[in-house]
Amino acid sequence: MAKVNIPTVKLNNGIDMPALGYGTWLGLDEKMNFISKDVPKLIDSLSYAIDVGYRHIDTAHVYRVEPEIGAVINKKIKEGVVTREDMFVVTKVWQHCHRKADVEASVRGSLRRLNLDYVDLVLMHWPMSISVNGVDEKIDYLETWSGFEAVLEKGLVKSIGVSNFNIDQLKRLLANCKVPPVCLQVEINVNLMQKELVALCNANNIAVVAYSPFGTMVPGKNYPQSPEPKLNNVNMMEIAKKHNKTVTQVVLRYLYQNDIVSLPKTITKTRVLENASIFDFNLDEKDMKTIAEFDNGFRAVCPVFFQDFQNYPFDKIPNFSMPLPQGMLKWKNGANENID
């Protein structure tokens, strides 16, 4: 079996994070229901990913698959493939749990579902606070962060960070926290490099982690009128051919050379290996310049159903309203959706 050796980045608390991880969000269908039918494929692909060398696993309460993720990790530990210390497990606290005491309850719930004694990193999934009934609770994310500092102090987690914060929100957090976040997880891809936000993170020794690293290149997000590059973009294909790599490998390498940790997600084994096989070549200055020209600020992930809630971090679409998907309010976990 082919193996990959994924390098690490040093977080501001001295802990090493693998520079590429395995994303586990399976998504919602056209009716905004969780795609539970793909859970068995996820289990199989994650198991393979750990076998070939992945150690950074990214999940979340709202992903609904913490029980399966934990079962795979514990199975691999039992088999002797990895030790718990080898793994870097990330989960996230959802918007229902933004009161300080609720943060600990959320983390303990994740630990129970994962069947782990600790997680390596827990993130505040969004800066908004929304109840299970869809009510804007308007809880200050600074209060939420104090809950994160508390679970860190109790040893339930090794590191704490945030996701989907904008520049102003991150600056305010840094000005008022006792423990700074070790990372910021946001959408980053060749169309949305978020240079100012990344620069702020770099200046404060905060690792930047990219979700949706392929943007609208992949068929599932290839929206009408979405910008280049696509997988068949001539310039990207030329760069890929020059290095004997695929276009998606070039994209991940580009992010890595910009000091961005990536979380590609796939339930196809060949792509699991392909995504991590990016540490044996270098893009040259011309390559980097060509790819940089695609940065136009286009956002592939735009959850407009959140935009009327306080602390929504992105630009709003004027005169647009969309109801909150019920699946974002209440759910059960696991493939059979029967686990609290």
Per the prediction, the chain carries an average pLDDT of 96
Estimate the crossing angle of helix 141-153 against helix 100-114, to 10 degrees. 50
List b or e across 2-37, with b for residues whose CB sees 16 or more CB atoms inside 10 angstroms. eebebeebebbeeeebbbbbbbbbbeeeeeeebeee
- For residue 68, the domain's CATH number is 3.20.20.100
Angle (nearest 5°) at CA 262 between 261 and 267: 150
* Average pLDDT of the segment spanning 165-175: 98
> Annotated active-site positions, please?
63
Residue 22 lies in a domain: yes
Residue 20 lies in a domain: yes
Percentage with pLDDT > 90 across the chain = 91
How far is the C-alpha of 144 from the C-alpha of 140, rounded, in Å? 7
DSSP-based helix, strand, coil % in the chain, nearest 5 = 40, 15, 45
Q: Of 33 and 269, which is predicted with more confidence?
A: 269
Residue 322 lies in a domain: no
Angle (nearest 5°) at CA 75 between 71 and 79: 175
Residue 38 lies in a domain: yes
pLDDT tens digits, residue range 281-326?
Answer: 999 999 999 999 999 999 999 999 999 999 999 999 998 888 899 8
Residue 317 lies in a domain: no
pTM across the whole model? 0.97
Residues 6 or more apart whose Cβ sits within 8 Å of residue 300: 187, 189, 191, 192, 212, 215, 216, 221, 223, 226
Residue 154 lies in a domain: yes
How far is the C-alpha of 198 from the C-alpha of 205, rounded, in Å? 10
Residue 286 lies in a domain: no
pLDDT tens digits, residue range 179-222?
Answer: 999 999 999 999 999 999 999 999 999 999 999 999 999 877 77
Q: Which of 157-161, 175-179, 298-302 has the lowest mean pLDDT?
A: 298-302
Residue 221 lies in a domain: no
Structurally, how many domains does the chain consist of? Answer: 1
* Average pLDDT of the segment spanning 258-263: 98
Residue 223, Cα to own-chain centre: how many angstroms? 21
Q: By residue range, what is the domain housing residue 16? A: 8-213+260-265
- Report pLDDT for 30: 82
- Report pLDDT for 283: 98
